[in-house]
Amino acid sequence: MSDAAAKLKRGDLRRVLVTPEGIALPVTLASRGTRFGALLIDLGIIFLTIIITTIALAYIASKLLADSPLKFGKGGTNLPPVVQFALILYIAFLFLLRHAYFLFFELGPRGATPGKRMTGIRVAARDGGRLTTEMVLARNLLRDVEITLPLVALFSLSGGGLADWLVFGWLAVFALFPMFNRDRLRAGDLVAGSWVVEARRLKLADALSTGKAAASGTSETTGASYKFGDEELAIYGEYELQTLERVLRDGRPEAMAAVHEAICRKLGWNPGSGDERAFLEAYYTQLRGRLEGGMRMGKRKADKHG
């Protein structure tokens, strides 16, 4: 892992996980911006919930207490039992909202809070194994130091002395922790052994090499038959094949025409026009067939120079 990691360029977010079955699974780490966005959404949800509940409860309380004068004083408040009970629930609710919101969602089947889900990221174990309850607990217990404390310190900065600045600077280290390591770990991730990765969802694209032109090498529009010889296919490698696949999937006529012309020039053919797609599909299929045949024999050709 460390060898592979050493080769990574700065800012490259691709990592490889090894699942317990021994399958190397490429993952893309969530970028700092995405995670910050997810956090803002989650905090927004928490604040909105607090505000709405507080207003609703205050309204209900004001109705209930309309005819009993409030007496706040030392030794407790003089409140009717119903309101007291509601207050206890309210305090417990605030505590849970603050500390259990992230836990609840990250322990669910989706492994992500609403904010993370909206931004398409989720929590995973760094070692490729199971994401345990303990990991989720650990990574969320540290949120206080990373969010609340630095914010409090920030607000107490105004008119503060050197000590306040020192405290803020020290706490900012926690808040900005993801800035200082390659894996974008926040302090909680570090302690929990987790990281946050992108949860991609891809649809299975149609096979390019099973269409009529691709499979038989015969164009449907012109009836022309494209058969390429071994030398004609040997000029390209896997990199070019994948470029060709991208061009075919995008299906932009200008790009196809340009690639068509380039290949024809390389082959020494006279590039015609109007039948680029059939030509490219046929070339793609036959090139893939050749390269895959080589793969089976243990020979790979990375690109045209290989």
Q: C-beta of 30: minimal distance to another protein in Å?
A: 13
In the bound state with another protein, the residue whose beta carbon lies nearer, of 45 and 271, is 45
Q: C-beta of 287: minimal distance to another protein in Å?
A: 9
Residue pair 8/179 in contact by the 8 Å Cβ criterion: no
Please measure the distance between the N-terminal and C-terminal CA atoms of the chain and give it in whole angstroms. Answer: 27
Q: Rounded CA gap, 139 and 105, in Å?
A: 13
Residue 246 C-beta-side C-alpha neighbours within 13 Å: 7
Reported as type and span, the H/E element at residue 24 is: strand 24-28
In the bound state with another protein, the residue whose beta carbon lies nearer, of 5 and 52, is 5
DSSP letters of 185-201? --HHHHHHTEEEEE---
In the bound state with another protein, the residue whose beta carbon lies nearer, of 143 and 184, is 143
β-bridge mates for residue 73, sequence order: 76
Q: C-beta of 117: minimal distance to another protein in Å?
A: 9
In the bound state with another protein, the residue whose beta carbon lies nearer, of 53 and 271, is 53
Q: C-beta of 149: minimal distance to another protein in Å?
A: 7
Q: C-beta of 97: minimal distance to another protein in Å?
A: 11
Q: Rounded CA gap, 215 and 264, in Å?
A: 20
Reported as type and span, the H/E element at residue 128 is: none
In the bound state with another protein, the residue whose beta carbon lies nearer, of 73 and 268, is 73
